[in-house]
Amino acid sequence: MDEKIIYLDNGDTTRIDDEVLQQMMKYYTDSYGNPVSLHALGMEADEDLAKARQIIASSINAEPSEIIFTSGATESNNTAINGIAEYYKNKGNHIIISSIEHSSVKAVAHRLKNDGYKVDEVKVDSEGFIDIEDLKSKFKVTTILVSVIYGNYEIGTIQNIEEIGAVCREKGVLFHTDAAQAYGKLKIDVKKENIDLMTINAHKNHGPKGIGVLYVKKGVKLKKLMEGGSHESGMRAGTENMPAVMGFARAAEIAYSDLDSNNAKISGLRDRLVTGLLEIPHVTYNGPKGGNLSRRLPHNADITFHYIEGEAILMHLSLRGICVSSGSACSSKTLEPSHVLTAIGLKHEQAHGSIRFTISKYNTEQEIDKTVKNVKEVVELLRSMSSFDPEKHSN
């Protein structure tokens, strides 16, 4: 990567850690056996696969048998929702999600309506926290699944997963959470937090792309989506991607070996960035802040720059060597405003003026300061080119 590039789009994907890449290379060139093969290389691969499963399981206080390797968070979310819907369809046809889910949850849940399922969305407040009373009011005798995102990919809101899980447990309803953004940044305990199914992946935490995990609590049944071999306890046919699996495990070890220190550094950089950006007139810091700042993902800052388009800011910053996002990578090329931002009360034009900055351990104070300086210049430039009148909008 060009040294001049300042990469602040780590919520979409991250640079792979050198140690992770080194770990993966071994499984491309030396230990390249198939875990189901009965010869020496195959048995070695099978042992290493078991070790990786143990590492991932330990990081969330799960059992190795509860870990299913997938191709990523999208597959894990689809498998959880479709799999539960299909397996428990004789029990009920009602699913509850939050109004700020990732598209790989929201879209698949609403697609199930075509098959006769009912879907309700739980409201969130202005900082993105779900309304627990609204959740409770939406349970029916036919409810089979609740899915609430752990840490939001756009505004960084960390839900009270333990409380939500307890409500679901009391109602006898399965609980799934998409923790793709939270894993590797937060301490997660699936037992304590009453989680039945959970989605995580590697590439948000300096691991490889194309590898994820679906945690499935022992006793929870899923309709498998693919037929074939008996891989992953018969739940996910297809030869395991061993280089990616081992890279995932190494990335998890690194992330959780020094979690508090990394989070302190990253959140410090985020706060430095936000302090600088809030000096710009007519901006809004979206998501948890003030007394709720501890309930925000440490790497996330989402800012609305009023009276200008976020896409224009993004493109101008890109020309200056600064990479940011106008939303999730899965939806940032659409013309529709972010459903997350409209769910917390932003108008369409405000949502279109929002930029997400996401920080990693590789960023520096110098990069943050340079970003603040460039954003200030870009905003001033764009507003001067528009019909924006500072006198009309002065405080």
Whether the Cβ atoms of residue 211 and residue 71 lie closer than 8 Å to each other = yes
Overall size of the chain counted in residues: 395
If one counts every other C-beta atom within 10 angstroms of the C-beta of residue 140, the result is 14
Neighbours of 66 (CB within 10 A): 22
Q: DSSP 3-state assignment of 98?
A: strand
Interhelix angle for 242-257 vs 259-277, to 10°?
Answer: 80
DSSP 293: G
Non-local CB neighbours of 272 within 8 Å, separated by 6+ positions: 365, 368, 369
- Judge whether 168 counts as a catalytic residue: no
> Are 373 and 272 in contact, with CB atoms under 8 Å apart?
no
State the catalytic residue, choosing from 330, 342, 376, 381. 330
Q: Which helix (H) or strand (E) holds 249?
A: helix 242-257
* Structure tokens that stand for 315 in this block: 């493109």
Catalytic residues: 330
